[in-house]
Amino acid sequence: MNFDFKKTAVYQSYQSSRFFLFRFSNFLFQAFLGIFIISLFFVFLSFLQNNFEIISIKISALLLFCSGIFWNIYLFTELKVKKPNLSVKISDAILDLENYNLADFLSLESAGIFKDLTKFSHRKKIPIDSTTLLYFVIKNSKESAIVFFRLGIDIKKVQDDLKNYLEKISKQEASNIFSDNFKKTIIDAASISVERGHELITEKDILVALAKNNEFLKKVLVDYDLKTQDVENITLWLDSVEETIKKNKEFWSKENLMRAGSMGKDWASGYTITLDQYSTDWRDVVSKWGFKEITSHKKHVQEAEMILSRTNLSNVLIVGNSGAGRKSVVEAIAHKCYLAKSFPELNNKRVVELDMVKISTMIQDFEVLERVLDQIFSEVIASGNVILVINNLDNFVNQSLQKAGAVDISGVLSKYLSMPEFHFIGISTYEGLHRNIEQNSSFISLFRKIEIPEITEQETIDILQANALEAEYRKKVLILYPAIREIVNLTGRYMPSLPFPEKALDVLAEVVAYVQSKKEKVILPHHVAEVISNKTEIPIGKMEVKEKETLLNLENLIHQRIVNQVEAVKQISVAMRRARAGLSSKKRPMGTFLFLGPTGVGKTETSKALSQIYFGSEEKMIRIDMSEFQAIADIPRLIGAVSPVEM
């Protein structure tokens, strides 16, 4: 590997940027501009008091001239001095490490780290390795301080431990020798930079590479119950936040101008007076988003956009389990349409959700309801800029009984779905699709179906991190990354019947409220464990003394109610201890047992004893007597099928 820091353009840029005039050009510009504005006030006063002197005008002009000079110096520093020209991209250089100097691709902040690193190694006469690099990344990098803080790591303690470690390294004759793990770290940092689309190797890229290669940092992560993946997640999140802040500062960009909105594009469309009375305009919702961004289901969002942009049958039926993120697809489309980042046919359209429950509850007469719906759908076509959304569409299709909150609108809706000017999104569950919508073959043929699967745990973490920023701003609490990861881990383990991301978002909101009720400001993993333990009534988190004693003496406690059955009680106790220690698979039950034996030997009593001793009450046990489900006609009762009366 070729890595010669002092023979790089970035080294020269870093040295130049430390020049007094370049370092303080922005401060001097703001200072002179501020004084100039103040001077204008005194010039104005001199006019009012008829005490005008030409010298005040000259001073103001001089101040304005100085602020202009320093503004130009600042621009020269930012655009020229701090951004040396590169003859080749880092993606090309990493393919030919012997002929390209990777030090050329360091960011200016990274260059500062390596300058201090080489100076320190030369003075101490020690080789340059990944541990020395870690010390200066922690010492000099503001971004690493943010990462460690968000991970809940005591950066001061880590820095002191590193300093003590480096002082014990024996001196050597040769200095500035790169160790193998240092070379591996730099190569990995360059690869990470390419993967993330960076033009230069940033401090965060180096930190992630260190988490993969440096044994000292690996030990620190283990001590704090963290993994390398956690460092990657938090740095990716920080990249996203920094990119959002950068974009928001560019007020002249198309995206920010679109976010500001205008009156003209609404005036060019028709009015939707009736629709507005019974609907939610998602454009108004997404316009208030700060750091929130829909990162999941990108493939399904794009597929929905393609269908909606068609000239005929531009109707989407989004199908998935409740809580799997069906609504997030609609939100993403609304956001892209609002910022004009979708297809040309969809840009600047309003995504409007019709509240069918509200309208069917307020209007009891079905004939009147049909006339109102007909008026609403006509307004959608006349406006030319509306994508209509109906949630839980299955509740309003193929309904044999007309009742409040559940009416059949398939007849009035069908005649509009075939019109090219009508853009429609319906949302349904799988059960509702099969039970109601698919029963009407002519109606279902007007849609293009998109199935929404449950998102992964990694995608859920990304969503929680985005929502955590919003929660921190509104609720004035700090949500550390380990708490976010704990939400995903524990909800995945103890709430398997609910899909991601809904269950994780619900728990996040509950944890925030729980911490606020305790008058605390920082959300930690043990807060998450307490909330989920209260919801599921399962012992989670750090074991208290009483629970430890119960687990250690579980056999004896069960034997107080059960005579003999030593083997069965032992297996139950081992399974409970293994599950509580977190050693069992989180995708499987804590324990599965088949008790065999004649009546009266203690099979049911053993289950009751475990429920009473470990879970606190016999009522926590759900008992199904299979003798009550022997006939085929009893199967619907067992599996929970919908009865004809309920339909």
Encode pLDDT of 554-575 as tens digits: 999 999 999 888 999 999 999 8
Question: What distance in Å separates the CA atoms of residue 255 and residue 259, rounded to the nearest whole number?
Answer: 6
**Is-contact 349 387, C-beta < 8 A?**
yes
Look at residue 195 in the predicted model and tell me its pLDDT.
95
Place of tokens 């100097």: 101
> Residue 585 pLDDT more than 60?
yes
3-state secondary structure of 124: helix
Task: List, in order, residues 6 or more apart from 593 with CB less than 8 Å away.
Answer: 568, 571, 572, 575
> Residue 365 pLDDT more than 70?
yes
Between 91 and 403, whose confidence is greater? 91
Q: What is the mean pLDDT of residues 601-611?
A: 90
Long-range CB pairs of 472-479, under 8 A, 24+ apart, other chains included: 473/290, 475/512, 475/516, 476/521, 477/512, 477/515, 477/516, 477/520, 477/521, 477/522, 477/523, 478/521, 478/522, 478/523, 479/508, 479/512, 479/523
CA 232, 236, 241: angle at the middle one, nearest 5? 150
Look at residue 406 in the predicted model and tell me its pLDDT.
67
> Residue 133 pLDDT more than 70?
yes
Look at residue 626 in the predicted model and tell me its pLDDT.
86
Between 177 and 157, whose confidence is greater? 157
Question: What distance in Å separates the CA atoms of residue 328 and residue 292, rounded to the nearest whole number?
Answer: 12
Residue among 557, 483, 475 nearest 523 (CA): 483
Task: List, in order, residues 6 or more apart from 23 with CB less than 8 Å away.
Answer: 17
Task: List, in order, residues 6 or more apart from 461 with CB less than 8 Å away.
Answer: 233, 484, 485, 488
Question: What distance in Å separates the CA atoms of residue 273 and residue 251, rounded to the nearest whole number?
Answer: 33
> In 269-394, where do the E strands start and end?
279-281, 315-320, 350-354, 386-390
> Residue 264 pLDDT more than 70?
no
Q: How many CA atoms lie within 13 A of 378 on its CB side?
A: 8
Mean pLDDT, the chain, whole residue set? 89
Peptide bond into 589 cis (omega under 30): no
DSSP 258-291: HHH--SHHHHTS---HHHHHTEEEHHHHHTT-SS
Q: How many CA atoms lie within 13 A of 407 on its CB side?
A: 23
What's the sign of the alpha-carbon dihedral 262, 263, 268, 272? positive
Look at residue 443 in the predicted model and tell me its pLDDT.
95
3-state secondary structure of 575: helix
Look at residue 52 in the predicted model and tell me its pLDDT.
57
Work out the percent of the chain whose per-residue pLDDT is above 70. Answer: 94
Q: What is the pLDDT of residues 296-326, one digit of tens each?
A: 899 999 999 999 999 889 999 999 999 999 9
Place of tokens 């009147």: 368
What's the sign of the alpha-carbon dihedral 492, 495, 497, 501? negative
Q: What is the pLDDT of residues 28-71, one digit of tens each?
A: 999 999 999 988 887 777 776 666 567 778 888 899 999 999 99
Question: What distance in Å separates the CA atoms of residue 212 and residue 195, rounded to the nearest whole number?
Answer: 15
Between 610 and 406, whose confidence is greater? 610
For residue 514, report the phi and psi dihedrals to the nearest 5 degrees. -65, -45
> Residue 531 pLDDT more than 90?
yes
Look at residue 330 in the predicted model and tell me its pLDDT.
96
Question: What distance in Å separates the CA atoms of residue 422 and residue 405, rounded to the nearest whole number?
Answer: 24
Q: What is the pLDDT of residues 265-290, one digit of tens each?
A: 666 678 899 999 999 999 999 988 87
Q: What is the pLDDT of residues 422-481, one digit of tens each?
A: 999 999 999 999 999 999 999 999 999 999 999 999 999 999 998 998 899 999 999 999
Q: Which two tokens stand for residue 356?
A: 């069918």
Banded model confidence at residue 582, pLDDT cuts 50, 70, 90: confident
Pair type for strands 350-354 and 279-281: antiparallel
Question: What distance in Å separates the CA atoms of residue 149 and residue 137, rounded to the nearest whole number?
Answer: 14
Q: Which two tokens stand for residue 95?
A: 């393919």
Question: What distance in Å separates the CA atoms of residue 611 and residue 604, rounded to the nearest whole number?
Answer: 11
Banded model confidence at residue 252, pLDDT cuts 50, 70, 90: confident
Look at residue 403 in the predicted model and tell me its pLDDT.
58
Do you know the residue count of the chain? 647
Banded model confidence at residue 647, pLDDT cuts 50, 70, 90: very low
CA distances from 239 to 204, 213, 242, 472 (A): 9, 21, 5, 18
**Is-contact 407 396, C-beta < 8 A?**
yes
> Residue 336 pLDDT more than 90?
yes
Q: Which two tokens stand for residue 502?
A: 């809904």
Q: What is the mean pLDDT of residues 391-407?
A: 78
Look at residue 134 in the predicted model and tell me its pLDDT.
96
Q: Which two tokens stand for residue 224?
A: 């704090």
> Residue 247 pLDDT more than 90?
no
Question: What distance in Å separates the CA atoms of residue 131 and residue 217, rounded to the nearest whole number?
Answer: 8
Q: Which two tokens stand for residue 438?
A: 């698919």
